[in-house]
């Protein structure tokens, strides 16, 4: 059955065919009740009569609908019309990255930004127990939302590559060009399979060549299993050597040797990229309409095995594609517009010795015919800042073609492989007895990464990935002045000076800034002597020193008045430093980092005090002193919070469990008896410091990971922020 323009199907007005695949057809259609277009995927009648195919089609829609994230295409509805099952999802009016690559490899900074946004979406899926398994350029769409360039993770095949036990079967339709070795051998999969594919995708974006271009499928599989990951610098001599190390780590044969998360891969790529002083200018991406609001999340049930689907020639080793192919083959209803470079771009022809990329390397099949070319809209002007910013980077993607955004290719992870996040109804009904949510403050448009109270408790400062910091009036329950803007990349941390008159912020743009709290104006020029993102900042209790730390693994102490660095940087961590904190008396500084260690420093001598604190099994995210400085509390991506004795450097008791997923934030109450923590599961939990037992039920309300928690100076309020872009003020029962 083929529906024609003007036909009404399940209430949707058909506009045209977008793509045809082995399981059905994708249409551009008008929603029957809302003023919006959707991509309507209709299962063929033959498969609609197959119970296994029906169950798989329905279940995949349910799983995809759980993933409500800015970087993931959303499913809005599903249903049955006669023998035909259908799914309605976001229609993204823009190209996929595979199409963009027809004009050559991406500028390095653009490629890294695409990977960063894809990583955000993938880690969100992983936190909900969902593994993508088909990460590749064709499954990354680009468009603009409210003038912000955006990347969306999607999938264009309903037939799954693997069954629900995550082993290879005879019905494999995988994109082997990006497949992790364990996917090919039938070993159990976890999120690191997606890390591998994302690393392979980064290589493709930088070189316009798949990692292992071979003439036969057997040769491709052998390379993934046995050959060393390729070096992007062999194709792109302009790239820093660190990029090769990032790709090699992401594509390590043993999953244990890879980055633990996709975000860790993206952050490493950003750091590596900043080793280069000169980068090609990106190409512009035209604006596109905004997407509709997200829908409620359904529950979760086991995923049935996929039905067998007849193979059809495509660029994905036999994968049936609905909408398009990775090599750039345009299906019915798709057009591709040309583009005009706004400036110098990455080379479109690989240097000698670099394998050619004509669309055929994704599989040993013949290349698709070249797409048609049409004039494009005028390019969006580039941002002038040289920093690696999302607004600038995603302006690089410069061709427009309507693409049917189809639900993400997914599989439920086992409990030990996922973060255990549960979205069952009723889990987020109300805070624990005795605690009360006082207010929810909105205004940021991106993840809110840090939060701090002013010394008098009258103000709250927040740092956001929307490149701004904000001040909030606690009494009035609203913003205190305009946003603090000036950073050109994600703002990662904030800190008030002890007198409350100055605010410090740090950013992924490699700078720290000081602000006048009363006027909201910057104080002097930005402070910048770091080689990468500055992740953390803290004022000494006397207000004389400012500590900063970041992705270059160094900690710097600076005179607040002189703005000059005091002595050499503190060197000990072997990877990025995520957090720093002064002891209440100012004599010690604590730091925590990606190397899974916590370290203590003598502020006067700038020497490390004793051995590192060891115990976390994944990167340490936060560190904080107790009010009397006798204890340290830390949180990690290993899903635990830990309490340490600062005198002996030993952990006190067992690790504090509770959160289902990583623990991102921790804070002592002013009396030192209670600890608050926030995690990837979207909850805030209160703990008895002495017994390390949870106090009551979790505080719920955040709709995604909680990134920061802090108590007011009098302990009467608890502020929390997270990736849902909100600031929440609670009255905790402590």
CA angle 612, 684, 538 (to 5 degrees): 45
State the DSSP code for 356.
P
User: Alpha-carbon distance 624 to 665, whole Å?
Assistant: 10
For residue 537, the model assigns a pLDDT of: 97
For residue 362, the model assigns a pLDDT of: 33
* Tokens standing for residue 540: 């000494």
CB of 496 within 8 A of CB of 454? yes
Q: 87: phi > 0 → left, psi -120 to 50 → alpha, else beta; which? A: beta
pLDDT digits (tens, 9 = 90+) for 533-565: 899 999 999 999 999 999 889 999 999 999 999
In this predicted structure, the answer to whether residue 298 has a pLDDT above a threshold of 50 is no
Element spanning 623, H or E: strand 620-625
For residue 407, the model assigns a pLDDT of: 38
For residue 464, the model assigns a pLDDT of: 96
User: Alpha-carbon distance 396 to 402, whole Å?
Assistant: 18
What's the chain's average pLDDT? 76
pLDDT digits (tens, 9 = 90+) for 5-35: 889 999 999 999 887 766 778 899 998 888 8
- The fraction of the chain above a pLDDT of 90, given in percent, is 46
> In the Cβ-directed half-sphere of 61, how many Cα atoms lie within 13 Å?
22
CB contact set of 46 (below 8 Å; sequence gap of 6+)? none
State the DSSP code for 100.
H
**Domain residue limits, the chain:** 7-90, 97-160+169-274, 436-731
In this predicted structure, the answer to whether residue 393 has a pLDDT above a threshold of 50 is no
pTM above 0.85, yes or no: no
Collapse the DSSP code of 486 into the 3-class scheme (helix H, G, I; strand E, B; otherwise coil) and give the result: coil
Whether 97-160+169-274 and 436-731 share one fold: the answer is no
User: Alpha-carbon distance 267 to 262, whole Å?
Assistant: 9
Q: What is the torsion angle, in degrees rounded to the nearest 10, for the CA atoms of residue 445, residue 446, residue 447 and residue 449?
A: -90
Give φ, ψ of 482 to 5 degrees.
-80, 160
CB of 471 within 8 A of CB of 460? yes
What CATH number does the domain located at 97-160+169-274 have? Answer: 1.10.510.10
Query: Is 253 a known ligand-binding residue?
Result: no
Region 631-657 average pLDDT = 90
What's CA 456's distance to the chain center, in Å? 35
Collapse the DSSP code of 622 into the 3-class scheme (helix H, G, I; strand E, B; otherwise coil) and give the result: strand
For residue 276, the model assigns a pLDDT of: 56
Q: Return the higher-pLDDT residue of 470 and 276.
A: 470
User: Alpha-carbon distance 96 to 209, whole Å?
Assistant: 16
For residue 262, the model assigns a pLDDT of: 95
Of 281, 276, 394, nearest in space to 344 by CA: 281
Of 719, 156, 114, 179, nearest in space to 453 by CA: 719
* Tokens standing for residue 294: 């997200």
Of 118, 92, 76, nearest in space to 298 by CA: 76
**pLDDT band for position 434 (cuts 50, 70, 90):** low
Which CATH superfamily is 436-731 part of? YVTN repeat-like/Quinoprotein amine dehydrogenase (2.130.10.10)
Q: Does domain 7-90 have CATH number 3.40.50.300?
A: no
Question: Could you give the residue numbers annotated as active site?
Answer: 134
């Amino acid at each position: 059955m083929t529906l024609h323009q003007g036909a009404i199907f399940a209430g949707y007005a058909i506009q045209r065919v977008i793509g045809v695949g082995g399981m059905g057809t994708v249409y551009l259609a008008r929603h029957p009740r809302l003023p919006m277009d959707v991509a309507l995927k209709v299962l063929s009648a033959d498969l609609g009569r197959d119970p296994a195919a029906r169950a798989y089609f329905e279940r995949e829609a349910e799983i995809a609908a759980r993933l409500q994230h800015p970087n993931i295409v959303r499913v809005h509805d599903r249903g049955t019309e006669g023998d035909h099952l259908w799914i309605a999802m976001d229609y993204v009016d823009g190209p996929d990255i595979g199409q963009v690559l027809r004009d050559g490899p991406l500028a390095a900074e653009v490629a890294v930004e695409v990977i960063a946004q894809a990583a955000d979406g993938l880690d969100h899926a992983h936190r909900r127990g969902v593994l993508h398994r088909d990460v590749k350029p064709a499954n990354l769409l680009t468009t603009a939302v409210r003038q912000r360039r955006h990347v969306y993770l999607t999938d264009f095949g309903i037939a799954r590559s693997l069954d629900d036990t995550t082993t290879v079967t005879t019905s494999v339709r995988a994109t082997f060009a990006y497949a992790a070795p364990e996917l090919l051998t039938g070993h159990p999969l976890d999120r690191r399979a997606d890390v591998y594919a994302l690393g392979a995708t980064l290589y493709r974006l930088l070189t316009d060549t798949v990692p292992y271009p071979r003439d036969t499928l057997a040769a491709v599989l052998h390379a993934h299993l046995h050959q060393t990951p390729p070096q992007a610098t062999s194709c792109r001599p302009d790239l820093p050597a660190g990029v090769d190390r990032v790709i090699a780590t992401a594509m390590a044969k043993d999953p244990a040797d890879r980055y633990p998360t996709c975000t860790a891969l993206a952050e490493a790529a950003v750091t590596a990229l900043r080793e280069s002083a000169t980068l090609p200018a990106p190409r512009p991406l035209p604006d596109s309409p905004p997407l509709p609001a997200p829908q409620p999340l359904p529950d979760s049930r086991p995923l049935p095995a996929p039905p067998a689907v007849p193979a059809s020639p495509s660029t994905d080793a036999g994968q049936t594609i609905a909408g398009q192919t990775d090599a750039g083959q345009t299906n019915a209803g798709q057009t591709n517009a040309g583009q005009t470079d706004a400036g110098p771009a990455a080379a479109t022809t690989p240097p000698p010795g670099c394998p050619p990329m004509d669309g055929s390397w994704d599989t040993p099949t013949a290349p698709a015919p070249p797409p048609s070319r049409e004039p494009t809209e005028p390019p969006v002007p580039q941002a002038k800042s040289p920093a690696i910013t999302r607004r600038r980077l995603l302006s690089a993607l410069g061709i427009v073609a309507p693409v049917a955004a189809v639900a993400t290719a997914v599989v439920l992870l086992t409990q030990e492989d996922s973060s255990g996040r549960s979205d069952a109804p009723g889990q987020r009904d109300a805070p624990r007895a005795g605690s009360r949510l006082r207010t929810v403050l909105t205004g940021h448009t991106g993840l809110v990464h840090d939060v701090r109270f002013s010394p008098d408790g009258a103000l709250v400062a927040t740092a956001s990935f929307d490149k701004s910091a904000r001040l909030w009036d606690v009494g009035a329950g609203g913003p205190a002045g305009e946003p603090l803007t000036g950073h050109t990349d994600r703002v990662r941390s904030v800190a008030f000076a002890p007198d409350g008159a100055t605010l410090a912020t740090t950013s992924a743009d490699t700078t720290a800034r000081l602000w006048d709290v009363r006027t909201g104006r910057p104080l002097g020029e930005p402070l910048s002597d770091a080689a990468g993102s500055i992740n953390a900042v803290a004022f000494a209790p006397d207000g004389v020193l400012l500590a900063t730390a970041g992705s270059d693994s160094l900690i710097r102490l600076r005179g607040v008045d002189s703005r000059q660095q005091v002595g050499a940087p503190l060197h000990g961590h072997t990877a990025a430093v995520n957090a720093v904190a002064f002891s209440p008396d100012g004599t010690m500084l604590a730091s925590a980092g990606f190397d899974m260690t916590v370290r203590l420093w003598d502020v006067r001598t700038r020497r490390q005090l004793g051995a590192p604190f060891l115990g976390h099994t994944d990167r340490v995210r936060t560190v904080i002193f107790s009010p009397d400085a006798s204890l340290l509390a830390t949180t990690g991506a290993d899903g635990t919070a830990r309490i340490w004795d600062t005198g002996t450097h030993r952990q006190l008791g067992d690790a504090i469990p509770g959160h289902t997923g990583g623990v991102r934030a921790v804070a002592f109450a002013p009396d030192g008896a209670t600890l608050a923590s926030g995690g990837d599961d979207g909850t805030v939990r209160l703990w008895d410091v002495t017994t390390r037992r949870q106090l009551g039920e979790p505080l719920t309300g955040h709709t995604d990971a909680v990134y920061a928690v802090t108590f007011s100076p009098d302990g009467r309020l608890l502020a929390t922020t997270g990736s849902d872009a909100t600031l929440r003020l609670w009255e905790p029962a402590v």
